[in-house]
């Protein structure tokens, strides 16, 4: 990968992480709970997160109780925009 591409990619990751950490702090949650709450926010989406132990399962359940504000949703949507082209689901 070219250095400039690596820099842009790294800055993008930092921006996403900062947005998620700020929102997580607001809800006294972790970043994974915020992402899960974002995924299931409309009540019509089912997420099947992987859990390695009972604590992870409990944390995943807690995500269902997080009600993100419109402002929070807009911030997350800004750093994770809807894809502009259709992509096949990778099933491996």
CA distance 23 to 32: 11
What is the pLDDT at residue 34? 94
Cα-based torsion angle of the residue sequence 49, 35, 61, 46 in order, rounded to the nearest 10 degrees: -60
Is 23 within 8 Å of 34 (Cβ atoms)?
Answer: yes
Q: What is the model's pLDDT at position 74? A: 96
Q: Against a cut of 0.85, is the pTM above it?
A: no
pLDDT at 44 over 60: yes
pLDDT-based confidence at residue 92 (cuts at 50, 70, 90) = low
pLDDT tens, residue by residue, 71-84: 999 999 998 888 88
For 50-61, what is the mean pLDDT? Answer: 90
């Amino acid at each position: 990968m070219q250095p400039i591409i690596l820099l842009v990619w790294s800055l993008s990751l930092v921006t996403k992480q900062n947005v998620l950490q700020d929102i997580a702090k607001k809800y006294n949650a972790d970043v994974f709970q915020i992402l899960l709450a974002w995924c299931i926010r409309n009540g019509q989406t089912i997420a099947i997160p992987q859990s390695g132990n009972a604590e992870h399962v409990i944390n995943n359940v807690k995500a269902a109780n997080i009600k993100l504000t419109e402002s929070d949703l807009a911030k997350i949507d800004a750093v994770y925009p809807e894809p502009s082209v259709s992509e096949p689901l990778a099933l491996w």
